[in-house]
Amino acid sequence: MVGQVAELGGWIAEGGVVVLSGAGLSTDSGIPDYRGPSGSARRGTPMTYQTFTGDDVARQRYWARSHLGWRNIGDARPNDGHRAVADLQRLGLVDGIITQNVDGLHQAAGAHGVVELHGNLARIACLHCGELTGRTEMAARLDAANPAFAGVATAINPDGDAELDDAGLDGFRVVDCLGCGGLLKPDVVYFGETVPIDRVERSFALVGSARTLLVLGSSLTVMSGRRFVLRAAKLGIRVAIVNRGVTRGEPYAGIVVDAPLGIVLPHLAREATSGSPEKIRI
């Protein structure tokens, strides 16, 4: 493993790195992973766009759960892994960042130009007029509409959807768009919903121009992220993976490091800053 980290440091030093990040990068910020050692698979079925727009009761339950989940996601702060990625970008070694996460922590750490494949929980979109508003405003409106709401989350998913007993959902009031009265939805891609084509095309363009695709904290279980690894492999672009546990991208990777991102990434950033190799203890 130490040798793999040293080799990865050499790849990064050559520049041209494009990062593809997943939920495992945010676990040190208190946001659980779906499948990694620090989290567990979701117990409930994720919300679909069709259910959200077509079922009033399901939408009420979702907003109650999401309102609780936001208290966790909204308070999260970037960890050492996020800051290391931003440092590598400032050094000119990372040319682009593609994230499957919806927590905005790359940007909070100082990264720029991040392609948010699945959107961002900090934004709320009206499905009728398209107006975007901040999640803080939405949370205040929901608090005002539900002063007696005392639901307690039993678990938080990386998409901000909390798990809680149905008894805690009774009477929860949903609010609509202040401008047009339309349905409000977090500006994220729901299960079964298509990622906007411009984000996909921009991501493929970044991968196509990369020297190295660096996957961070993703099991690559779903095609949403794995397709970029497949594209890199097809184009002969190097693939490196840093993740806790097995990933579906390993057959395509020249380097695989199964170690804590909060240790490996800061180490790599320090090496890049100093210009000389360091010993790593994992």
What are the backbone dihedrals phi and psi of residue 185, each rounded to the nearest 5 degrees, phi first?
-145, 140
Q: Compute the chain's Rg from CA coordinates.
A: 20
**Left, alpha or beta for 130 (phi > 0: left; psi -120 to 50: alpha)?**
left
Q: Which of 203, 223, 218, 173 is nearest to 59 (CA)?
A: 173
Q: Report d(CA 132, CA 257) in Å as an integer.
A: 39
Marked catalytic residue, from 67, 82, 106, 118? 118
Report phi then psi at 162, rounded to 5: -90, 165
Q: How far apart are the C-alpha atoms of 77 and 60, rounded to whole Å?
A: 28
Q: Could you confirm whether 112 is annotated as catalytic?
A: no
**Backbone φ and ψ of 200, nearest 5°:** -65, -45
The CA angle 250-254-258, to the nearest 5 degrees, is 55
* Active site positions, annotated: 118
